[in-house]
Amino acid sequence: MEPALAPATPLLPAFTHHQKVGFAHCDPAGIVFYPRYFEMVNATVEEWFETSLGFSFAKIHDDMAAAVPTVAINIDFRHPSRLGDVLEFRLHVTRLGRSSIDLQITAVQADDPDGPDRFTMTSTLVFTRKDIAGSAPWPADLRTALQHHINKQDQHDT
């Protein structure tokens, strides 16, 4: 029996976010310039925090005087994306730590959901507070929201 948070098989998406590839994302080769993918990934993470967890980045930064920086990324770019493509970004939590979280993020063309991944990415985010150096434990309410999301995600997977 495989553990819920370290799956060997592809996960069903727990959170999806659509973004269209615009002129601003594309390079002289006519495909998405890879730093722009990370802007799109960050927008996906922001949307997930706001709509799934109830903690917008505005709330985290302004009200909580905190941040959720990305501290590690591992990404394979598999298939180019072109101007006008509508991408479906899929975010899955693979580990919840005391002050960190691991995410698995992929993107496919929204109208071809079984088509090739544009990229597969894993990343680690940590919770930080402006008044102390280094990472800090997740606040109780945010941790509860994360755990609640993971429970729903796992039900979706099984």
- Binding interface with a second copy (CB under 8 A): 22-24, 26-31, 33-36, 38-39, 42-43, 46, 50, 56-58, 61-62, 67, 69-77, 80, 82-84, 130
**Which residue number, 8 or 29, has a Cβ lying nearer to a second copy?**
29
Structure tokens at 100: 């960190």
Taking the complex as a whole, how short is the minimal distance between the CB of residue 7 and a second copy, in angstroms? 21
Query: What ranges make up the beta strands (E) of 6-136?
Result: 15-20, 66-67, 70-77, 86-96, 100-109, 119-126, 128-129
Taking the complex as a whole, how short is the minimal distance between the CB of residue 135 and a second copy, in angstroms? 12
Closest residue by Cα to residue 67 from 83, 90, 45, 41:
45
**Which residue number, 48 or 150, has a Cβ lying nearer to a second copy?**
48
Structure tokens at 148: 């609640």
**Which residue number, 2 or 130, has a Cβ lying nearer to a second copy?**
130
**DSSP three-state, residue 86:** strand
**Burial of residue 106 (number of CB atoms within 10 Å: 0-12, 13-18, 19+):** buried
Taking the complex as a whole, how short is the minimal distance between the CB of residue 16 and a second copy, in angstroms? 16
Taking the complex as a whole, how short is the minimal distance between the CB of residue 33 and a second copy, in angstroms? 7
**Which residue number, 16 or 56, has a Cβ lying nearer to a second copy?**
56
